[in-house]
Homo-oligomer: A and B are copies of this chain.
Amino acid sequence: MATSNLKEEVYQELSRVTHALSHPKRLELVDLLSQKAFSVDELSHEINMTVASTSQHLQVLKAARLVTTQREGNFIFYRIADDSVARLVLAVRELGFSRNAEINRIITDFRADKNILETITLDDLLAKSKKEKILLLDVRPEDEYQAGHIEGAVSIPVSQLKKRIGELPKGKTIIAYCRGPLCVMSVEAVKILQAKKYPAVQLEDGYMEWKLKQEELSH
């Protein structure tokens, strides 16, 4: 009787995962939650939607078991269920970046528009740190830095960079990073740094990309 429903039933279940990730805002939510836990209210501002809509999308992610919730006082904090969820979204992004001409056009246009000359990846980072003295700068909001950051990084949120720029040493190349390739905080930071004649470069990857890579290396 249960002869060949196996495939149907399992694919049905699996499609709940892909379906949950099939909406752009939900992809964005998972990417955000890869950084740290957020309240619904915070998330709604980040993704620029009403609280009610944000909540709806979070329900979908929760029903697919991609995120979990935890109440803390008045707030309900959403967090990613597992690093494997971040890994899946990363795989989607890499597939898109490597194979989708439209995405490449969007990013190329953006870089041209922002006069971004040089960016480096995590793979380049090690090589660069051997050639010259570098300082790794985390420009995300401080609570994200505290929830986890790339080893050796120093925290100055981009919002405070102008007034705290004196804290930075001269004579080192500053590598600024934020949430990842779709986050513009490091773009902003590099612009500020270069205006003050600091040698600064943007790291394409963010904290979660580094973390996932660390885990891979330890296997």
Given contacts A88-B91, A103-B10, whether A19 and B22 have CB atoms under 8 Å apart is yes
For chain A, what secondary structure do more than half of its interface residues adopt (helix, strand, loop), or is it mixed? Answer: helix
Q: Which residues of B contact A93 (CB under 8 A)?
A: 14
Number of copies of chain A assembled together: 2
Q: Which residues of B contact A100 (CB under 8 A)?
A: 13, 16-17, 65
Chain A interface size range: 35 or more
Across the interface, do B99 and A82 meet the contact criterion of CB distance under 8 Å? yes
A2 at interface by CB-CB < 8 Å: yes
Q: Residue A14 contacts which of B8, B18, B24, B184 (CB distance < 8 angstroms)?
A: B24
Across the interface, do A7 and B84 meet the contact criterion of CB distance under 8 Å? no
CB contact list, A82-102 vs B, under 8 A? 82, 84-85, 87-88, 91-96, 98-100, 102
Per the bound structure, the CA–CA distance linking A87 and B28 in Å amounts to 22
Per the bound structure, the CA–CA distance linking A107 and B13 in Å amounts to 12
A208 at interface by CB-CB < 8 Å: no
A176 at interface by CB-CB < 8 Å: no
Q: Which residues of B contact A13 (CB under 8 A)?
A: 96, 100, 102-103, 106
Q: Which residues of B contact A146 (CB under 8 A)?
A: none
A115 at interface by CB-CB < 8 Å: no
For A93, the closest partner residue in chain B by CB is B14
Given contacts A14-B27, A107-B6, whether A99 and B113 have CB atoms under 8 Å apart is no
- With a 10 A CB-CB cut-off, give which of A9, A18, A92, A96 has the most chain B CB atoms: A18
Q: Residue A24 contacts which of B4, B8, B183 (CB distance < 8 angstroms)?
A: B8
CB contact list, A60-117 vs B, under 8 A? 65, 81-82, 84-85, 87-88, 91-96, 98-100, 102-103, 106-107, 109-110, 113
For A1, the closest partner residue in chain B by CB is B113
Q: Given A18-B22, A19-B22, list of 18 further CB < 8 A pairs?
A: A2-B109, A6-B110, A7-B28, A9-B106, A10-B106, A11-B182, A13-B100, A13-B106, A14-B27, A17-B95, A17-B100, A18-B27, A21-B22, A22-B22, A82-B95, A82-B99, A84-B95, A84-B98
